[in-house]
Amino acid sequence: MGPPPSAPADPAPPRQTLLCVEDNPANLLLIEKLIARRPDIQLLSAKDGERGVEMARRHRPQVILMDINLPGMSGLDALRALAGDTRTARMPVIALSANAMARDIEKGLEAGFFRYLTKPIKVDEFMETLDSALTSARTRTDTAVTQGDTPC
């Protein structure tokens, strides 16, 4: 018998999941290209708020990127649905919207979005916000496990 097979010296870290809820194909394509730079992130997408909420409940992504103006259920209504569900309430949700007036941003942050990004997407700001949200998601999960809750 030979020696046992050795385990890989440096296993790849687990991939984190980003759910993008966006109905505009051009915006989704840009986000796909940006996330392709990040092999540590798996991207899921939904084209409307209802489907986004359903996918968040099923897949439990670490972070959600949410357009505000969606067909059917708006991004704000989807955020409220996520916040009201113990399975998804701890997930950081980043708003992404063409509504760029100060009052729109204030309203979004008051509603509970983790951050509020405006279109057109600014690549550096997007990537920094995503990293911040992923860090927050890890912290929230660690806190939930410490307190005996089920992590998202």
Nearest-angstrom CA–CA distance, 80 and 82:
5
> Does a structural domain hold residue 56?
yes
Range of the structural domain that residue 73 is part of: 16-139
> Does a structural domain hold residue 2?
no
Nearest-angstrom CA–CA distance, 67 and 99:
10
SS3 state at 145: helix
> Does a structural domain hold residue 151?
no
> Does a structural domain hold residue 150?
no
> Does a structural domain hold residue 37?
yes
The CATH code of the domain that includes 118 is 3.40.50.2300
| Count of the separate structural domains present in the chain | 1
Per-residue pLDDT tens listing for the chain (152 residues): 555 555 555 556 678 999 999 999 999 999 999 999 999 999 999 999 999 999 999 999 999 999 999 999 999 999 999 999 999 999 999 999 999 999 999 999 999 999 999 999 999 999 999 999 999 998 875 555 445 555 44
Nearest-angstrom CA–CA distance, 99 and 102:
9
Record the pTM: 0.85
